[in-house]
Amino acid sequence: MATTDGQGRRRGTVRPELEELLAPLGVVPARAGDADARAVLERDGAVVLADRGDDPEVLVTAAAQLLGGRLRELFGIRAQHGVDAPVLPLHSDGATVTVDVHGRAVRLRDPDEDYLLMLCTRPAPRGGDSVLVDGHALVAALREARPELHAFLTTCDVDFFGGWTGRPHSVPLTPLVRGLVEHTRRGRCAVGASDYALPVPREPRWDAHLAHLEEYADVLATAQECAARFRLEAGEVLVLDNYRFLHGRDAFAGERRMHVMTVRTTDAF
């Protein structure tokens, strides 16, 4: 059963009885050259670009190369540097970050970022392998195996950051209410995950919804545990459909440096 820490973060428990169902959902993205990368991304939803160097601005050129005229917004490149870090659970990127610049609201992040680009500038000497789980395949698998959980994920809203007790700047004071599985106007499916999700305020089925959130956390923990791993080397860029894939990584020892950029396209919400 999932547990919740003092900051409101929920951690799932690996469920051995779910491993056979969830193990096939892990994805190792193909590596492709410039000529094929866009086609691979459109086909698979994820691709790895090699030999891109260590300048984080290659993320901007990669986004333009692969997404072209579909680009709507690019959000700032974020350095991710860590030493001796624990496991990063499966999650979907996206955050509500709006600042006031001379009386004008400027959005630095968006909860509906639909593509993620990640440059590895220094892989960890030990550990730190990446994990991708196909969220679309996950939802399809749950339809038969866990129909009540599937119905909750596809028909019920949650307070996406409701459990966060610290309330950093990236968490809105107004509840962000949405489904964990939603569709855009044009039918694109977005599968989300939040360690801090709670039932929406005044939800009459609060206990049942909380139980489903805890079960979903166990599903994600199990999917991560049994998924195939892959390693990003220095100079490689991972590009993925953030609506389709949930991603995480193993614990690592030593120093690891990454740079991440998210974007919104014309196909986003």
Can you read off the two tokens belonging to residue 267?
């196909």
Mind listing the pLDDT tens digit for each residue in 108-127? 899 999 999 999 999 999 99
Mind listing the pLDDT tens digit for each residue in 172-189? 778 899 999 999 999 999
Residue 170: predicted pLDDT: 64
Under-50 pLDDT residues of the chain: none
Q: What's 232's DSSP letter?
A: P
The string of DSSP codes covering 51-79 is: ---S-TTHHHHHHHHHHGGGEEEEPPPEE
Residue 97: predicted pLDDT: 86
Residue 96: predicted pLDDT: 86
Residue 62: predicted pLDDT: 98
Q: What CA dihedral angle connects 145, 10, 250 and 117, to 10 degrees?
A: 90
Residue 98: predicted pLDDT: 86
| Predicted TM-score (pTM) above 0.85 | yes
Domains annotated on the chain, with CATH? 27-265 (3.60.130.10)
Cβ 237 vs Cβ 182: under 8 Å: no
Residue 164: predicted pLDDT: 86
Cβ 50 vs Cβ 60: under 8 Å: no
